[in-house]
Structure 1
């Protein structure tokens, strides 16, 4: 069983690398948001199952994605939109910290809701760009 999971994980990694290599910046943002949303699901399971080390690693992955998204913002050129996204990313990071320190999955629900809304807007923006 371990061998099967290892092979599948390798396949997923190669597939993701290939997608990222051919993606434009808009698609990369969507991929990052999707990765964050997927990891949130895993973190919820880790909290519910009291797998604290795995929870911490998952929270760290989510925070790193948010930090990456935030660092890509151009606050000066993006004006109010970029500033609002920055505030939302900061809110999500704070909620992730609370989820980690309190071991409460409901903080993850807030992050999920915000990021799904951002994803929806970003996806809509891509259709009109």
Structure 2
């Protein structure tokens, strides 16, 4: 009646879910997901390297590199972004080189360095959204009048 579990079918459903969600998220959330993907891929690579799983390490580092190159770097608005976009672009390039070296040398310290560089940026990016939402909520709230104590 039911067929056995097929990983290809599960993968197809997952791919459809990702494609559908891509149309419903805003640009800020998309960049957050890219940062999360880079950090998750590096963490997976570090675990795989510790286990001696070369294939998973290489695939995970490759995924992190692709996210940095094709996602985060290409998303930078280098014309309007000014110095900030320039600095982020330089940081992404540095991280790319460090990940390539980490893969070639099996160097966990280099992967850890990239994580330490990307994590605060990812956290700061997430805080921007929270701060913006808080400011919007405060702006919509009617001003409250101070209560004066009667003498």
TM-score category, normalised to shorter length? 0.7 to 0.9
Larger CA Rg, structure 1 vs 2:
2
Residue 73 of structure 1: which of 70, 73, 76 is its match?
Answer: 76
Residue 114 of structure 1: which of 86, 106, 117 is its match?
Answer: 117
Structure-1-length-normalised TM-score: 0.85
The unaligned stretches of length 5 or more in structure 2 are 133-151
What is the 5 A alignment of 1:1-129? 3=5, 12-68=14-70, 69-129=72-132
Question: Could you tell which deviates more after superposition, 83-92 or 6-15?
Answer: 6-15
Change (3 A) 1:93 1:37: same
Structure-2-length-normalised TM-score: 0.74
Q: Name the structure with the higher helix share.
A: 1
> 1:59-112 CA deviation, whole Å, 9 max, x = no partner?
111000001210111112100110111111111111101110100111111111
Change (3 A) 1:4 1:111: farther
Q: Which fold has the larger relative contact order, with Cα–Cα distance below 8 Å and residues 6 or more apart in sequence?
A: 1
How many residue pairs are counted as aligned between the two chains? Answer: 128
RMSD between aligned alpha carbons?
2.1
* Distance across 1 between alignment mates of 2:37 and 2:47: 16
